[in-house]
Amino acid sequence: MEKKYKELTPPQRILLGPGPSNVDPRVLKAMSMPLVGHLDPYFFEVMDEVTELLRYVFKTKNRLTIPISGTGSAGMETCLVNLVGKGDEVVVGVNGFFGQRMSEIVKRCGGTPIEVKEAWGRAISAESVEKALADSNARVVALVHAETSTGVVQPLKEISNLTRKYDALLLVDTVTSLGGVELEIDNYGVDISYSGTQKCLNCPPGLSPITLNERVVEFIRDREGKIQSWYFDLNLIEKYWEADRFYHHTAPISMIYGLREALRIIYEDGLEKRWAQHLKANKALIKGLNAMGLETLATENNLPSLTAVKIPEGVSDINVRKALLNVFNIEIGGGLGELKGKIWRIGLMGMNACERNVILVLEALDRLLRKEGFPVKPGEGLVAAMDVFQE
């Protein structure tokens, strides 16, 4: 008997994990618009508007500010393959899962990562970065601004001053911060950064916005030999996004429509207003969790768009996350790497950073923790969170 395939009927989840986040209906509508060719004059207009809006969200005047065709990891790889060649030393901040990934890519480029390590849940210190720069020939420092695996936001300004002092470039992962966490590429002195569409931008995964200043552009052009990746060679990609429109690859047209609309929504709301929205939702969530007897992994430098919560002793990680999904239709994330089974990761990103979602996840955790035998006084977390929203 011939197998039949039904229409897709995915459940409508409340996505409060480390990403993806829920997508605004306006973005989905934009993605359903008619296709044009990737060399069509109309699409060139869309491309120009996307670059303008990305400059607004990154808070930069960088000429080369574009989306890479691929997820956030493609952005990470793009930046590193263009900056790192055989024998190059790179200072890499490793205080979580994604710092480790950058270090791995440096090795695959033939470079040598000079790892500046810190405990997962803590930020990298400027002093340790300076020591690594002083003791090496590194021309690049790579840091994660928003470490998705730990819920820590990395201070950047002091380290940026150090990179100028040692004539190095500062590369920053902003995948979980762009559009939701205070970030000013030019004022912070960030030379090159990559992000993702599926977090605070509330767009499906599939593109990685990047921005780089002229110091980086010149650095890449002056490198000896060819970039090891043809697809991610910024010398080639630049020509498609600049005035020449020289064909490089077939751009994901519908995804770029969607990104344009997601960025337009942020532009309409106002970037500073979005930052404040994330701060308030994060404060309310943490107050509620603390009132329930739960602790966050980070004791300082809390990331506004994602909170890592320590799982209490005797409480089953899997039981709680399964029940959240199956009973309450809420997705949160578990721990990665050395934190697997030790934390939950609750994301409040973009339009998900709101009072409704904070109340929903706290109410669900209240019930499930009591079912697991953890001593929670009913409603205490909700009262604490509501106090923040009513301030």
Q: What is the pLDDT along the chain (391 residues), one digit of tens a residue?
A: 789 999 999 999 999 999 999 999 999 999 999 999 999 999 999 999 999 999 999 999 999 999 999 999 999 999 999 999 999 999 999 999 999 999 999 999 999 999 999 999 999 999 999 999 999 999 999 999 999 999 999 999 999 999 999 999 999 999 999 999 999 999 999 999 999 999 999 999 999 999 999 999 999 999 888 999 999 999 999 999 988 899 999 999 999 999 999 999 999 999 999 999 999 999 999 999 999 999 999 999 999 999 999 999 999 999 999 999 999 999 999 999 999 999 999 999 999 999 999 999 999 999 999 999 999 999 999 999 999 999 8
Place of tokens 């990470």: 76
Six-digit token string for 217: 């552009």
Assess contact for 165 and 132: CB atoms under 8 A.
no
Six-digit token string for 347: 């994301």
DSSP state of 297: S
At a CB cut-off of 8 Å and minimum separation 6, what does 137 contact?
Answer: 89
Taking the whole predicted model, whether its pTM rises above 0.85 is answered as: yes
Intra-chain end-to-end CA distance of the chain, in Å: 64
At a CB cut-off of 8 Å and minimum separation 6, what does 108 contact?
Answer: none
C-alpha distances in Å from residue 65, one per residue of 57, 241, 251, 348:
11, 9, 16, 26
Q: Can you give the length of the chain in residues?
A: 391
Residue 70 CA to residue 82 CA, distance in Å, equals: 16
Structural domains of the chain, ranges and CATH numbers in brackets: 25-268 (3.40.640.10), 271-389 (3.90.1150.10)
pLDDT in tens, 212-254: 999 999 999 998 889 999 999 999 999 999 888 999 999 999 9
Residue 18 CA to residue 4 CA, distance in Å, equals: 34
Torsion sign, CA atoms 35, 38, 39, 41: positive
